[in-house]
Structure 1
Amino acid sequence: MPSRVSKSIFCNQVGYLTSGDKRFWIQAREAQPFALHTPDGQAVFAGLTKPVGGDWYVGDFTALRVPGTYVLTVGSLEARVVVHRRAYGDVLEAMLRFFDYQLCGVALPEEDAGPWAHAPCHTSDAKVLGTERAVACPGGWHDAGDYGKYTVPAAKAVADLLLAHEYFPAALAHVRPMRSVHREPHLPPALEVAREEIAWLLTMQDPATGGVYHKVSTPSFPPLDTRPEDDTAPLIMSPISYAATATFCAAMAHAALVYRAHDPALASCCTDAAQRAYAWLSEHEMRPFRNPDGIFTGEYGDRELRDELLWASSAMLRMTGDSAWARVCEPLLDLDLAWELGWADVALYGVMEYLRAPSAAVSGDVRSKVKSRLLRELDALAAMAESHPFGIPMRDEDFIWGSNMVLLNRAMAFLLAEGVGVLHPAAHTVAQRAADYLFGANPLGQCYVTGFGQQPVRQPHHRPSVADDVDDPVPGMVAGGPNRNLQDEIARAKLAGRPAMTAYMDHQDSYSTNEVAIYWNSPAVFVVAGLLEAGGR
């Protein structure tokens, strides 16, 4: 039977780090020879693809470590590939600048935002639902493709950026935020960007009780073609919730530590806010948040709240170094909670805060036990990645709304673990495969980032990008990715019967596969910064 090669080479369209792994994928019935040439035809590398499951074959040219732009050929197929020491520098900057494009309440000037500039938006006070009380809560980031601002996912996004700064400052040092929109431009880039969301989060805490409001939004989503400054419906502050208060407490305690050396005044505010939030938690039951009557924006509800308490308690432990907090959070580490880094399942944030707390403040036996479980969790993810044709720790059931976040969170877990001495041999391989997949090495050949690659996301579910007069969307946004549950009308109509990993469409109406979100970009910043810092040494 003659060999059959797919119509495409599936590769990392952004580029390959000089000292990093370099792979591409094809579909075929048997191994295929491949070669790389310079643009003028000089041969630099040759190899043979290997089977990795089903009809997928992988080619590996990791040994090519000479920077340059090359032509990769497999039979009659060609692809352009770039090898560079800072191959991810531009995309990392764009991913971090996305948070500036999401800024609320301020004008984005053309000098920084280019064709995506807009006037100030959502500048009015918000009315606390069911009362006549108005609260000033300016600033922060629009959460996703809509203009709501939600405490729970904001805490995850802030934590990811703070962690990226702590772990990979060298990679982020080259990034340039929008200088004209920041109040504190002397800070390191990730801290400069995160400060805007932290300042907004502080406005969400009730000064009388210490509890934190769940969200501020208009009652309903505006039409998709609404510019930020044209979204003038009244702003409503939804009630205080346990999840919002706990995640706020954790993020503030983390920020208090990180900003001590850079912005002592902010660190002091965060310390006080975290303490008052935890006091509220101590006096209230764990009750899931549900959208009140008349509010139809993102709910971010969560039935399991013990993981939020673990994160808050561990963050307080690390912030204070007081062993009294260890006695609070150590029993929570024994619970059967999912150790993940999502906006709902946040236990792994708590685990990492516990393991990064001063060793004198925690039990050595508990610390060892936690590290052992963390290693087992990573072993399970590594085994999953080993059995996947694209080397990613994903199963069909993991391709849900925001599947790219799921993947990036899992890659992030490996890199976080290294910082506490849990070194897994698959860590950087899994992180690299996640980046390869995100940047185009997937069955659709889709680069899931706007503005990058040969096949970038062009029609995201993102109101500013839909409403502007620019053909291209805001750059640097990570799309949600394949979603086997097909939770929007156009996805159900067009994608029914597709395999889970291909249940995606680049269409502005497909909010369940093609929306963007701050908490999808934040783990992307962490993982890409980690790869760039390791590859740039």
Structure 2
Amino acid sequence: MSHAAPPVRPAPDRTGPTDRAGRRRRRTLAAAVTAAIAAGALSAPAAMAVGHPARHGAGTAAPKADTGSPVRVNQVGYLTYGPKKGTVVTSATKPLTWTLRAADGTERAHGTTTPAGIDPSSRQNVQTFDFSAVTEAGKGYTVTIDGKKSEPFTIGDHLYGSLRGDALAYFYHNRSGIKIDADLVGREYARPAGHDKAAPHRGDTDVPCVKGVCDYRRNVSGGWYDAGDQGKYVVNGGISVAQLMSAYERTRTAKGADAAPLGDGRLRVPERGNGVPDILDEARWEMEFLLRMQVPQGKPLAGMAFHKVHDRHWTGFPTRPDQDTQQRELHKPSTAATLNLAAAAAQSARLFKPYDPDFAARCLHAARTAWAAATAHPKIFASDKDSTGGGAYGDRNVGDEFYWAAAELFITTGDHGYAKAVLDSPLHRDLDALFPRGGGMSWSSTAGLGELDLATVPNKLTAKQRAQVRAMVTKAADRYAADSAKSAYGVPYAPKDGKYEWGSNSQVLNNMVVLATAHDLTGKDRYLDAVLRGLDYVLGENPLNQSYVTGYGERNSHNQHHRFWAHQRDHRLPHPAPGSLAGGPNSGLQDPVAKKKLKGCAPAMCYTDDLMAFSTNEITINWNAPLAWIASYVDDLGNGAAARPAS
């Protein structure tokens, strides 16, 4: 998160994890706008509009977006034996004829559409079509309805391996403290190390605390830049590194999951060839940073984790990381950050044990120490007002982090104390706390991460307890699958009051992770279909006819908000690298560009591919992590893990 907004008035009472996440993001917008004005990105009059989101009541004219063809499909393609569905925006109320044509124009199938009425997410009148019976592989397919032709797409079984690789390369691109090598990413994306010891003030190798927090300095180098800014946040790093490790851990627990594409020498990391799976090499870069963020023994709050590190003031725009001259500062430890460290380090301990026992032991020691510190200091909260120079990431509800950390420590150690913390937690029996109905798992709602691992990774729960955990996962998946089936666009996301949240695409993908896990556990087609329909949505079969992933689909996002990938602002700089996920529609419109362009938008239409529309078009590590997880899962399907006749 690089930007969000402090409200003009105090925020209303929180009503759930999704609401909390969005409101925290909004609380840093004023600081972000101030920085944008200073950098010349915004005019002062435009900034004056901040804090007064557009009302969407009756009589408000919705903006007219350029959405291209009214025939909407997954612009990348469909698995040979998976569901193949699409949507057409039309004023017609009676069924229409659809025609599927190959690249040479020959007809391969036809049928009639099914009227679906007004889609509430877009306020569009839509009809749906289904060509799942077509199983002939090929490129350049199109669907034509009422004289309008869709974007081209492919049918086949090996469509998503490149997306997995690109989505994971995103993390190498955004490493701090290391040169980004042209041989791995290409010349336009190569750059010197950011915030290393050669930087002004020695970068992140010698960082002081914000005044009043500590009287010493720390080496907190390494890790990943969080988002469009150059801050590094433990609570966002925790969920991100956990999901990368989970993508690998799934290959050890799920039938048909293929570890080879994540293995040594397969990904774009400089450590390739060291005998360790490349995805774990990437995870370790972040884990080393998280370990450095732990308060050392002998200091006040020893064992806790500093909440974040970033520039003293908002980084100018655009700024390549190695050209940042600002002083970096550590912000006070928090219980949430400490528990993120405990959870991620415990998971890391069990996964690295076969490859580096010493590092695994160091991770486990850090995890146990962090757990003890958090239980001794359970109410040290990050302030929502700490938004000068970086996102606040405030979180006063840490029950979910306690649950996640206890679960990971229990899985890794089998210790009774951690088991008791899991089983005695009220969240253990609270489906909505584990898997939010109106949103999804997020940096501020992490309990579900622990539940998924308890359901899939071998541990010492009894058979009855394990069955109960798995039932919670499948109950959540049932709800997300029902949301997908109800949506004309197949999206497994039904936000409260219909309003899309900041980073809605990440919530869609995290719901897909739950669905995919349920499919791994049960083999039931409805979960698999909902995952694939969610991917259709992300890659173009949506109200905007927009693929939200750079480089994937004819109409793909490529002006996402980033300090270095800022081609729209400076043509000497690159567009975001392929495989970068845009945050997606956001009803809040918490930036001046979105407010001006999108006033009156329907929820799923509240998106614009503009560099400075950060509330809809940001990119972050915790959005690309579930994209990489899902791309890996779907590529496994195409490789035969779940091949089946079309349902």
Contact persistence 1:378–1:414 (CA under 8 A): yes
Contact persistence 1:375–1:424 (CA under 8 A): no
Give the CA deviation at 1:100: 0.7
- Distance, in Å, in 1 between the alignment partners of 2:169 and 2:579 is 7
Q: 2:261 aligns with which of 174, 182, 195?
A: 174
Give the CA deviation at 1:116: 1.1
Contact persistence 1:307–1:350 (CA under 8 A): no
Query: SS of the counterpart of 1:536?
Result: helix
Structure 1 segment 317-356 matched on structure 2, within 5 A: 317-332=410-425, 333-334=428-429, 338-340=433-435, 341-356=441-456
Name the residue aligned to 1:63.
133
Name the residue aligned to 2:15.
none
Q: Which amino acid aligns with 2:540?
A: G
**Is 1:399 the equivalent of 2:500?**
yes
Q: Which amino acid aligns with 2:536?
A: D
* 1:284-313 CA-partner distances (Å, limit 9, x unpaired): 122321167684411111121111101111
**Is 1:204 the equivalent of 2:288?**
no
**Is 1:113 the equivalent of 2:177?**
no
Q: TM-score, normalised by structure 2?
A: 0.78
Q: Which amino acid aligns with 1:413?
A: V
Structure 1 segment 10-409 matched on structure 2, within 5 A: 10-28=72-90, 29=92, 30-54=94-118, 55-69=125-139, 70-79=141-150, 80-114=152-186, 115-123=188-196, 124=203, 125-130=206-211, 131-168=214-251, 173-174=260-261, 176-180=266-270, 182=271, 185-208=274-297, 209-290=302-383, 295-332=388-425, 333-334=428-429, 338-340=433-435, 341-356=441-456, 358=458, 361-396=460-495, 397=498, 399-409=500-510
Once the two structures are overlaid, the 10-residue window that deviates more, 285-294 or 395-404, is: 285-294
Q: Which amino acid aligns with 1:523?
A: P
Contact persistence 2:335–2:381 (CA under 8 A): yes
Structure 1 segment 459-498 matched on structure 2, within 5 A: 459-466=559-566, 469-470=572-573, 472-498=575-601
Once the two structures are overlaid, the 10-residue window that deviates more, 225-234 or 468-477, is: 468-477
- The verdict on how the C-alpha distance between 1:294 and 1:439 changes in structure 2, with shifts beyond 3 A counting, is closer
Contact persistence 1:392–1:433 (CA under 8 A): yes
Contact persistence 1:177–1:193 (CA under 8 A): no
- The verdict on how the C-alpha distance between 1:133 and 1:377 changes in structure 2, with shifts beyond 3 A counting, is same
Q: TM-score, normalised by structure 1?
A: 0.93
Q: Which amino acid aligns with 1:373?
A: M
Give the CA deviation at 1:355: 3.2
Q: Which amino acid aligns with 1:489?
A: P
Query: SS of the counterpart of 1:239?
Result: strand
Give the CA deviation at 1:187: 2.2
Give the CA deviation at 1:128: 2.3
- Distance, in Å, in 1 between the alignment partners of 2:321 and 2:333 is 26
Contact persistence 2:269–2:282 (CA under 8 A): no
- The verdict on how the C-alpha distance between 1:202 and 1:65 changes in structure 2, with shifts beyond 3 A counting, is same
- Distance, in Å, in 1 between the alignment partners of 2:289 and 2:114 is 51
- Distance, in Å, in 1 between the alignment partners of 2:538 and 2:610 is 17
**Is 1:536 the equivalent of 2:639?**
yes
- Distance, in Å, in 1 between the alignment partners of 2:261 and 2:450 is 30
- Distance, in Å, in 1 between the alignment partners of 2:149 and 2:477 is 36
**Is 1:455 the equivalent of 2:555?**
yes
Give the CA deviation at 1:222: 1.0
- The verdict on how the C-alpha distance between 1:47 and 1:78 changes in structure 2, with shifts beyond 3 A counting, is same
- Distance, in Å, in 2 between the alignment partners of 1:311 and 1:528 is 24
- The verdict on how the C-alpha distance between 1:232 and 1:435 changes in structure 2, with shifts beyond 3 A counting, is same
* 1:412-467 CA-partner distances (Å, limit 9, x unpaired): 11122345x35654211111111101101101011101122111112110111116
Contact persistence 2:333–2:380 (CA under 8 A): no
Give the CA deviation at 1:319: 0.5
- Distance, in Å, in 1 between the alignment partners of 2:574 and 2:282 is 27
Give the CA deviation at 1:335: 5.3
**Is 1:433 the equivalent of 2:533?**
yes
Query: SS of the counterpart of 2:565?
Result: helix
Q: Which amino acid aligns with 1:118?
A: R
Give the CA deviation at 1:235: 0.9
RMSD: 2.2
- The verdict on how the C-alpha distance between 1:384 and 1:203 changes in structure 2, with shifts beyond 3 A counting, is same
- The verdict on how the C-alpha distance between 1:372 and 1:41 changes in structure 2, with shifts beyond 3 A counting, is closer
* 1:215-253 CA-partner distances (Å, limit 9, x unpaired): 111122212211111112111111111000001100110
- Distance, in Å, in 2 between the alignment partners of 1:85 and 1:68 is 10
Contact persistence 2:519–2:528 (CA under 8 A): no
- Distance, in Å, in 1 between the alignment partners of 2:574 and 2:562 is 13
Query: SS of the counterpart of 2:86?
Result: strand
Query: SS of the counterpart of 2:433?
Result: coil
Give the CA deviation at 1:22: 1.5
- Distance, in Å, in 2 between the alignment partners of 1:36 and 1:293 is 54
Give the unaligned 5+ runs of structure 1: 1-5
- The verdict on how the C-alpha distance between 1:74 and 1:418 changes in structure 2, with shifts beyond 3 A counting, is closer
Give the unaligned 5+ runs of structure 2: 1-67, 119-124, 197-202, 436-440, 641-647
Contact persistence 2:269–2:278 (CA under 8 A): no
Q: Which amino acid aligns with 2:88?
A: I
- The verdict on how the C-alpha distance between 1:67 and 1:409 changes in structure 2, with shifts beyond 3 A counting, is same
- Distance, in Å, in 1 between the alignment partners of 2:221 and 2:170 is 18
- The verdict on how the C-alpha distance between 1:10 and 1:168 changes in structure 2, with shifts beyond 3 A counting, is farther
> What percent of counterpart residues are identical?
31
Query: SS of the counterpart of 2:516?
Result: helix
Q: Which amino acid aligns with 1:284?
A: H
* 1:149-197 CA-partner distances (Å, limit 9, x unpaired): 10011110111111111224755633643233x3874322321221211
Higher RCO (CA-CA < 8 Å; seq separation 6+): 2
Query: SS of the counterpart of 1:238?
Result: strand
- The verdict on how the C-alpha distance between 1:386 and 1:292 changes in structure 2, with shifts beyond 3 A counting, is closer
